[in-house]
Amino acid sequence: MSGPLAARSLVWRAQFWSFFKRHRRAIEDYRAAVALEPQRVDAWRALGFLYAQEGEPSRAIEALAEAVRLAPDDADTRFNLGFLYHQRGDLDHAIAEFKEAIRLKPLLDRAWYGLGVIYLRRGQLAPAIEHLREAAKQQYFNPHAGQQLALAYHRAGEQQKAVEEQKRVDGYDPKMGAQIAGEIGLR
């Protein structure tokens, strides 16, 4: 068997192996599928995830970059590629992917959060606040977005806004609220 039907069969088998956490077997089948049908975006995406799970970030990035090349309007894959770049410390590439993901899917809170964290790490407080505020707005109950936003406000000298954010988070996550209070000097 060859061509699309063979590639599809390999993808199904790879999904089976993935379900049972047999990642190396799944990777072999996905690689065989893309060798037969290089345009299989689903297989490239799956390879990216599996390589990431197997602790092979360079291969994960290569696979997700190929998925993005084949489907440039896929905001979620762009976010995942940006996340891997961010983990690797390649912040410029992470920023580019997160920005494009937001352009394609403005309600992708994870990309807003990722950008905010990078800007905060770089000391770019105005864009950090902008992006973290949007992430916290979109995902109101994300205590990590609230924590990072409170820190950004604090570092920008906007203590009242930092306290307001701490209180907001404390209202639904007292443990994180207490942590934020310590980080912004309330305790």
Res. 110 pLDDT band, cuts 50 70 90? very high
The reply to whether 1-97 and 107-187 are identical in fold is: yes
Cα distance between residue 114 and residue 105, in whole Å: 14
Res. 70 pLDDT band, cuts 50 70 90? very high
Q: Which pLDDT score is estimated for 4? A: 65
Domain ranges across the chain:
1-97, 107-187
Q: Which pLDDT score is estimated for 186? A: 87
Cα distance between residue 10 and residue 125, in whole Å: 48
Class of domain 107-187 as given by CATH: mainly alpha
Residue at 113: amino acid letter? Y
Res. 187 pLDDT band, cuts 50 70 90? confident
CATH topology of domain 1-97: 1.25.40
> Cβ of 28: how many Cβ atoms within 10 Å?
15
Q: Which pLDDT score is estimated for 60? A: 98
Q: Which pLDDT score is estimated for 1? A: 55
